Amino acid sequence: MEDEAHKRSSSVLDSLRDLRPHLFHPPVDAVLAISPFWIPEKSFCVDAGAHHASTVDYRGYAVEVKYSCPGDPGLAHALVAEGHRAGLPALSRHHGADLSAAVPMHFLSPRGQVPLVPLSSTERSREECVEWGRCLRRAVEASGKRVLLFCGGGLSHNLTACLHWEDSIAAVIFDQKVLECLKKGRGMDVAKIDPFWIEMGNPPARLRDLYMFLGACGVDSKGKLMAYDGAPGEGWAVMRFS
């Protein structure tokens, strides 16, 4: 968003703008946004609010994120109900549109017209995250709605390297390892990445948001890399799955 404000170009910024007409024509009925920064310990949470405002969960940037849009309470409650049927601890909780949802939506739906359903990540097991993703898919299919699902897009999140502007090639290596797994349709193999690289990347939610996404899309889904950018210690990717 700072790039946009200062009229600077970046591959991620350009790809988000390029994707907008493809993702929203024909129009989608709702967007499900999995946040890697909303991390309940024991449950999977869904914000079933009728309206969402951006949550200020960051500091130190020149641009303030302000985003508001409608919610979809009916779809949100259907997600929770499907989780219960699968024996998962799914709950309805208020959260709003945090950075991981508000920034992509600022570019993808700048007028705030598309209903949004914010979803948490969790500290529960990888297997349960995948099953929750499958619940999301079943509930969406039962609703008959056309829905866009996305993760927050963050890869490495090494704040020490980022805040002190240190070169962190280890975080870039981590990013590339994750992206290669996704491009090959072997997303679950990110769990096999050497723990050293995971520590260097320090991904939010330890990639549990990604496991949910793969559960919904299919664990062998292949992603097409549209863009990759990053500051030291911070990696962002735009990858499309279909």
- Beta partners for residue 83, in sequence order: none
Q: pTM of the predicted model, to two decimals?
A: 0.93
- Beta partners for residue 90, in sequence order: 44
Both tokens of 214, joined, read 């793969």
Distance CA 183, CA 185 (A): 6
Domain ranges, residue 125 = 2-241
Q: The domain that contains 229 carries what CATH number? A: 3.40.830.10
Both tokens of 91, joined, read 């709950």
Residues of the chain with pLDDT under 50: none
Distance CA 192, CA 31 (A): 30
Both tokens of 20, joined, read 């907008």
Which pLDDT value is given to residue 3?
Answer: 84
- How confident is the model over 44-96, as pLDDT tens digits? 999 999 999 998 766 667 788 889 999 999 999 999 999 999 999 999 999 99
Q: Determine whether 218 is exposed, middle or buried from the number of CB atoms within 10 Å of its CB (0-12, 13-18, 19+).
A: middle
Closest CA to 71 of 50, 55, 53, 92: 50
Torsional class of 56: left (φ above 0), alpha (ψ -120 to 50), beta (otherwise): beta
Specify the DSSP element, H or E, that contains 63.
Answer: none
Q: How many folded domains does the chain comprise?
A: 1
